[in-house]
Chains A and B, each alone.
Chain A
Amino acid sequence: DSGVTQTPKHLITATGQRVTLRCSPRSGDLSVYWYQQSLDQGLQFLIQYYNGEERAKGNILERFSAQQFPDLHSELNLSSLELGDSALYFCASSAGSNQPQHFGDGTRLSIL
């Protein structure tokens, strides 16, 4: 158990819809990262938050957004969903600059 909790585990929805993925980091970890894992793109970094502030952006689409709340949990919002958004979305957290990232079990998003 990594200590990172992601909900829901599975999400099935239709094109054009909007979903919210939730992540609770390990106790004490200030940094939260979101990654997308798909068959064609592999594992890609989306966005990082540190103590409530956006710290870095990766290959995140404009239709996607995220935030980190005062209690340090984070949400990834995906809107106007397309078939190609079907993927496994991982959240990871870390304690500090030299510390490794610990991953949750992911949310599997299926767009029908």
Chain B
Amino acid sequence: AQSVTQLGSHVSVSEGALVLLRCNYSSSVPPYLFWYVQYPNQGLQLLLKYTTGATLVKGINGFEAEFKKSETSFHLTKPSAHMSDAAEYFCAVSHTGRRALTFGSGTRLQVQP
């Protein structure tokens, strides 16, 4: 079985500040890890993914995440928050034997001017 825990259902940062959204996963086999973003009344948009290879993954809109196997983590970061980053962010896990995504409960990011 696999699971995802996102610490913090709500995160608030100031514009220009560092964004850090936390994700820890549980998987009995090597995981594939994803971050998706959901804007109001829209579907989920892929930010970035880790399958194999380089553990630091760069995505769209300046986001990146680092796969740390020893910590079973895949935290999402962005050096400088922009107002347009306000949205809900979901971490998800799958693996070769189960392609369906298991999602975390989501973190709502608020960006203060």
Contacts and interface: CB of A to CB of B under 8 A. Distances in A.
Q: Tell me what chain A mostly uses at the interface: helix, strand, loop, or mixed.
A: strand
Interface string A22-40: 0000000001010100000
- Kindly state the interface size class of chain B when it binds its partner: 20 to 34
Interface stretch (B13-21, B68-76, B77-85, B101-109): B101-109
A19 B37 CA distance: 28
Interface residues of A, number: 25
B49 A100 contact: yes
A44 to B, nearest CB: 8
Nearest to A6: B43
A101 B101 contact: yes
A73 B57 CA distance: 32
A78 to B, nearest CB: 19
A33 B42 contact: no
Contacts of B34: 100
Interface of A: 2, 4, 31, 33, 35, 42-45, 48, 55-56, 58, 90, 92, 94, 97-98, 100-106
